[in-house]
Structure 1
Amino acid sequence: MTADEPVITATVAGTYLLDSEPAVVMFDSGATHSFVSRTFINRLGCSIGKLAGPMVVEVADNRTIYVTDVYRGYTLDFSGVEFPIDLIPIAKRDLCVIVGMDWLDAFDAEIHCRRKQMAPPARLNQLQMEQVRNIVAEEFNNAFNELIPGVTNDIINQVKALLVERLAAIPGGELSAPPVRDSA
C-alpha cells in the first residue's frame, strides 16, 4: 500500500457494557488503539495511568492531539463474556468508546460490514464451548453418581460413550471421565 492509496476501514456501533455500565461503542478497524470519552470515563470514577510515552492521535476532524494517559484493566461485555480492554481518554461527545485494532486483533474479532454487526470474538466461542463442556460433564457426573442409585459402572461407561460420540460433533467437544464408584 502506498501513501496515495485510500485506506478502507470498517465500523460498527452498538450499546455494550463497559465495567457494567451501558456505553455506546464503535468498533473501528481504522483506529490503532481503543479510546474512551472523558465524559463517560469520569462517570465511572476510575484512576488513570500513564502511557509508556506520548502518543500522537489523528482524530476524525483532521486534528492531531497528543495523549499520555490510559485507563487499564476495564472489561467490555460481549454476549455475556467479559474481555479486558485498555482505554485512552479523548474528548468525544457522540460516542463513549472506540474499540480499535489493538483489541480487535488481540481477540480475533471481526466486523461484518454488510450486516453492520460484530462477529463474536474467537475467544468468546472457545469460552462458551468450555462452559458447555463443563456443564455437560458436571450434569453427567451428578446424574450417574448421585441421582441414580445402583447404576453399574458398565451402564455409566455405555452412556458416557454415547455422550462422547455426540459431543465429538462439536468443535473441541470432550467429556471428562466420571469418578468410579465402589461396587460394594
Structure 2
Amino acid sequence: MTTDGDRSIPSVPAGDDDQRVRERATLDVIAPAISRDEVTATGRVGAVAYPYLVYRATATISRRFLGDRDTEYVVSLDRARRLPLRADTHPETTTRTLADVLVVPPAVDREQSRALARDAVFKWTLRSYSLGAAPEIELSAPVAAHKLFWLATRDGGDVIVDSVTGDERPLAP
C-alpha cells in the first residue's frame, strides 16, 4: 500500500487484464477546455479519467445578536486521493465516449465523500470566522464526474496535461 501523507491509497499492479484500462468508455466528465487533439505530441496521446465529486456547500453560522450568516463554498472532492479541495465554480459536465482510457477507480464511496466534504467545510469555516458554536452545514447539488488528463509522448519525455486548466507536468521516468 502506498501513502500520500496521511491519506493511504491502495496500489494496484497494472497488467494486460487490468479492468481500469478500457478500449472505449462512456463517462460523465468535467467539460475539458483542451481537447485530446490539441495536445502537442510526437507520439501517442493517452487519457486518464480521475473520479471527482463536487458539492455546493453552505455553512450557517449562528450569531447571538445578529441574524445568521451563510457562507457558501464549492467542494471538489478527489475521490481517488480522498482529498477535498476548494473550488471556484460548480463544474459543467458532459458525457463523452473516450477511446484508450485509464479509468481510475474511486477510493471512497458517496457516504464517505459526503463526510470528507462536510469536514472540509467545517475546517474552512473555522479558519475564516470566530465561532461560538459549530456551524450548520448543508451539502447540495452533488456532481459525480471524471476529470480528464492527457498523457503525451514527446521527445523530451512524457508529460501529463490537465484538460481543464491546460497545466503540464513532466512524468517521472
Q: TM-score if structure 2 supplies the norm length?
A: 0.25
Higher relative contact order (CA 8 A, sep 6+): 2
Higher strand share: 2
Higher helix share: 1
Which protein is bigger by CA-based radius of gyration?
A: 1
